[in-house]
């Protein structure tokens, strides 16, 4: 148990569906992240939220829409995805501004777009 | 820009063999350096870290030393076990005011045979 919980663990969705990934951190951190991990590609940072404000969006297509209602919860809303969006989506949290800078990761959501 | 380069895998070793996974980085300032491990079907877990030059991070028999002069953070273990089979990621933490971001290498898959 890392203190970061992601649900669901697995998701299969059609290209016309709308779904959401959820991430919750129990560590009191002030920053949360979405990463995409595809086969044979490096981990890609998608979004960063710092104190609930989005501070980074690495040219992610608009079919991915993040939401951070508070510092403990992070969502990734999905709609009209493509098969190439199939990947492992990892959520992470960290405490910015202090000495301990490591990120803690959830176990990920394995997304398959059919 | 900031980047991390680690050796291409996969690496296949016999049990009790010596492991080295090379990692070099490019960064401005004084980044913190990390090794993360990802076991099959899981998210990333922090393995070890070092926050300043000449620091040695260690955990579970793994070690890595922050070498500023060679901009390296190579991962080593004297005697690997089958249970060490996983993907290993080198990463650096960059600072920008109150923001921080983890930049990952591409990962090195390690397979340990009995």
Q: Looking at the predicted structure, is the pLDDT value of residue A1 above 60?
A: no
Strands A10-13 and A109-113: parallel
CA B25 to chain centre: 11
- Is-contact A6 A107, C-beta < 8 A? yes
Other C-beta atoms lying within 10 Å of the C-beta of residue B47 = 20
Q: What percent of chain A has pLDDT over 90?
A: 66
Q: Looking at the predicted structure, is the pLDDT value of residue B46 above 70?
A: yes
pLDDT tens string B51-108: 989 999 999 999 999 999 999 999 999 999 999 999 999 999 876 655 667 889 999 9
Q: Looking at the predicted structure, is the pLDDT value of residue A52 above 80?
A: no
- Is-contact B58 B68, C-beta < 8 A? no
B5 touches chain A (CB under 8 A): no
- Is-contact A47 A34, C-beta < 8 A? yes
A21 touches chain B (CB under 8 A): no
CB contact under 8 A, B100 and A101: yes
Q: What pLDDT score was predicted for residue A2?
A: 60
pLDDT tens string B26-38: 988 788 999 999 9
| Residues 58-97 in B contacting A (C-alpha not used; CB under 8 Å) | 89, 93
A80: left (phi over 0), alpha (psi -120 to 50) or beta: left
Quote the minimal CA–CA distance from A96 to chain B in Å. Answer: 6
């Amino acid at each position: 148990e890392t203190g970061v919980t992601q649900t669901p663990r697995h998701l299969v969705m059609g290209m016309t569906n709308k779904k959401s990934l959820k991430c919750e951190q129990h560590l009191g951190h002030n920053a949360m992240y979405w990463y995409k991990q595809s086969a044979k590609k490096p981990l890609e940072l998608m979004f960063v939220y710092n104190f609930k404000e989005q501070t980074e969006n690495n040219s992610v297509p608009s079919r991915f829409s993040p939401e951070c209602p508070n510092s403990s919860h992070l969502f990734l809303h999905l709609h009209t995805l493509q098969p190439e969006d199939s990947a492992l989506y990892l959520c992470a949290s960290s405490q910015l501004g202090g000495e301990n800078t490591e990120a803690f990761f959830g176990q990920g959501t394995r997304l398959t777009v059919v | 820009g900031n980047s991390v380069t680690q050796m291409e895998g996969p690496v296949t070793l016999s049990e009790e063999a010596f492991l080295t996974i090379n990692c070099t980085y490019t960064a401005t300032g004084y980044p913190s350096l990390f090794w993360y491990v990802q076991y099959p079907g899981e998210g990333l877990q922090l393995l070890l870290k070092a926050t300043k030059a000449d620091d040695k991070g260690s955990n579970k028999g793994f070690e890595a030393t922050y070498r500023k002069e060679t901009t390296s953070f190579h991962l080593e273990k004297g005697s690997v076990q089958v249970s060490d089979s996983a993907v290993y990621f080198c990463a650096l933490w960059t600072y920008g005011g109150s923001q921080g971001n983890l930049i990952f290498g591409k990962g090195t898959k390690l397979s340990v045979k009995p």
